[in-house]
Amino acid sequence: MNLELRHLRVVCAIADTGSVTKAASLLGLAQPALTAQLQRIERTLGGPLFQRDRRGARATPLGELVLARAKVLLPAMKGLQDEAARLAGVTGGAGRYRIGAVSGALIGGLVHRLSTDIPNAQISTTPSWSAEELAQQVLVGKLDFTIVGACGHPGPIGDFGLSWRQIALDAVQVLLPARHPLAHRDEIELAELANSHWVMAPGDGCFADCFAAAATRAGFTPQRIYEADVNAGFDLVEAGEAIGLCRPTTRPVPGVVMKPLSGAPLRWRQMLGWHPQSDAAEMAEHVHQYAVEAYQESIARHPYYLRWLSRHPMFGPSTSTIG
């Protein structure tokens, strides 16, 4: 077998993710297929490239050599392709927008604005519950942008080597069935929901831990917590089986009401990420602007939250330009 650039990308994906399984998911391959491909690469190069144990896959000395050369060859090949595209009169990646998102709440508005402003743009979207997976896809060039969320104080998300810009900071809301005894209130104390069951979306972020910490501060330990997708979550809330936790960009649903928690004990940052050395970096300014506009369009569906924002100006859209 002759070694090709695609083989180097496989080796880099395993090293970047630290796992053959994660690399297979990132590359869109079945894990056994990627394992077999790695074995063929190792036979071609004459030895193992990774040591695999319970902590993941770590490069051997031979693997370190291959990775060092790959980090030179792969960018050089991309540079060649970009230069060839420019000489051919093609605008590199300027007309391509591959966008991944943990939540699709802003995708519709963002895509609409991009397609209206740039009618010939190549736009694709990728959903995932995993912010880490999307960030890794941006890192290896499979996506141009990702929209993810994180709770807690402002700052970078993880150690992915990406550039991040905040789209908005929100107070997490609770979803109640319309017949709930507290549904008429403007705000609800988290402690008043101590005896409730809860439902939240899956994901690999810190939100479950942040919620547990907020509940502890409110003086209780959450009872049963369901994990469900958006539609199933609404069904559980409407049936009176659980209280939901959501962002104010969530669409209104009949039979369910959305309310702020007093004191905003749970906060959610929506972030736009891109690779600082990619073509996407040149487009990040207007993509961020469109994401903010899509956010503003989403919260406009909830007049109660707009009123709440007028009293809490530290929350809401982040309109600063990218420096």
Neighbours of 171 (CB within 10 A): 23
How does residue 320 score in pLDDT terms, banded at 50, 70 and 90? Answer: low
Residues 176 and 303 in one domain: yes
Q: What angle, 0 to 180 degrees and rounded to 10, lies between the N-to-C axes of helices 31-45 and 20-27?
A: 110
- For the chain, give the mean pLDDT: 85
Mean of pLDDT values over 66-77: 89
- Going by C-alpha positions, the residue among 50, 45, 47, 70 that lies closest to residue 60 is 50
Give the per-residue pLDDT at 251: 84
Contacts of 77 (CB under 8 A, 6+ apart): 5
- Backbone phi, psi, residue 225, to 5°: -120, 120
Q: Is the pLDDT of residue 4 over 80?
A: yes
Residue 100 backbone phi and psi in degrees, to 5: -105, 150
Rounded to 5°, the CA angle 121-278-124 comes to: 35
Q: 68 phi and psi, to 5 degrees?
A: -60, -40
Give the domain-ending residue among 63, 87, 111: 87
Q: Is residue 250 classed exposed, middle or buried when 0-12, 13-18 and 19+ CB atoms within 10 A define those classes?
A: buried
Q: What is the pLDDT of residue 152?
A: 63
C-alpha gyration radius of the chain: 23
Separation of alpha carbons 86 and 257, rounded Å: 53
SS3 labels along the chain = CCCCHHHHHHHHHHHHHCCHHHHHHHHCCCHHHHHHHHHHHHHHHCCCCEEEECCEEEECHHHHHHHHHHHHHHHHHHHHHHHHHHHCCCCCCCCEEEEEECCCCCHHHHHHHHHHHCCCCEEEEEECCCHHHHHHHHHCCCCCEEEEEEECCCCCCCCCCCEEEEEEEEECEEEEECCCCCCCCCCECHHHHCCCCEEECCCCCCHHHHHHHHHHHCCCCCCCEEECCHHHHHHHHHCCCCEEEECCCCCCCCCEEEEEECCCCCEEEEEEEECCCCCHHHHHHHHHHHHHHHHHHHHCCCHHHHHHHHHCCCCEECCCCCC
Q: Give me the pLDDT at residue 143, please.
A: 92
pLDDT 10s digits, 11-44: 999 999 998 888 888 877 778 888 888 988 999 8
Domain boundary among 47, 68, 87: 87
- Confidence at residue 153, expressed as pLDDT on a 0 to 100 scale: 54
* Residues 39 and 81 reside in one and the same domain: yes
CATH code, 216: 3.40.190.290
Q: Is the pLDDT of residue 166 over 60?
A: yes
Q: pLDDT band for position 132 (50/70/90)?
A: confident
Task: Supply the pLDDT for residue 96.
Answer: 83
Phi, psi of 173 (to 5 degrees): -105, 165
**Residue 262 and residue 164 share a domain:** yes
Do 64 and 144 have their domain in common?
Answer: no
What's the domain range around 310? 91-323
- At 133-149, the pLDDT tens digits run 888 889 888 899 999 98
Under the banding of pLDDT at 50, 70 and 90, the label for residue 113 is: very high
Q: How confident is the model at residue 62 (pLDDT cuts 50, 70, 90)?
A: very high
pLDDT, position 88: 45
Q: Is the pLDDT of residue 73 over 50?
A: yes
- Residue 125 reports pLDDT greater than 80: yes
Alpha-carbon gap, residue 262 to 265, rounded angstroms: 7
Looking at the fold, whether 82 and 111 belong to one and the same domain comes out as no
Both 37 and 168 in one domain: the answer is: no
- Tally the domains of the chain: 2
Say if residue 157's pLDDT is above 70.
Answer: no
pLDDT per position as a tens digit, 82-112: 665 445 433 444 578 999 998 778 899 999 9
Q: Final residue of a domain: which of 30, 58, 87?
A: 87
User: Are 22 and 134 contained in the same domain?
Assistant: no
The pLDDT-based confidence of 191 (bands split at 50, 70, 90) is very high
pLDDT at 103: 73
User: Considering only CA atoms, which of 204, 38, 54, 53 is closest in space to residue 133?
Assistant: 204
Residues 119 and 18 in one domain: no
Please indicate, yes or no, whether residues 44 and 192 belong to a single structural domain of this protein.
no
Least confident range of 23-32, 149-158, 241-250: 149-158
- pLDDT at position 150, please? 81
Looking at the fold, whether 140 and 268 belong to one and the same domain comes out as yes
Q: What is the pLDDT of residue 288?
A: 95
pLDDT at residue number 249: 86
Please say if the pLDDT value at position 169 is more than 90: yes
| pLDDT tens per residue across span 196-226 | 999 988 765 667 788 888 999 999 998 888 8
Judgement on whether residues 83 and 97 belong to the same structural domain of the protein: no
Pick 321 or 61 by higher pLDDT.
61
- The Cα 288–Cα 321 span in angstroms is 9
CATH at 27? 1.10.10.10
Residues 6+ apart with CB under 8 A from 211: 198, 200, 222, 245, 266
User: In terms of domains, do 147 and 34 share one?
Assistant: no
Residue 237 has pLDDT above 50, yes or no: yes
pLDDT given at position 272: 94
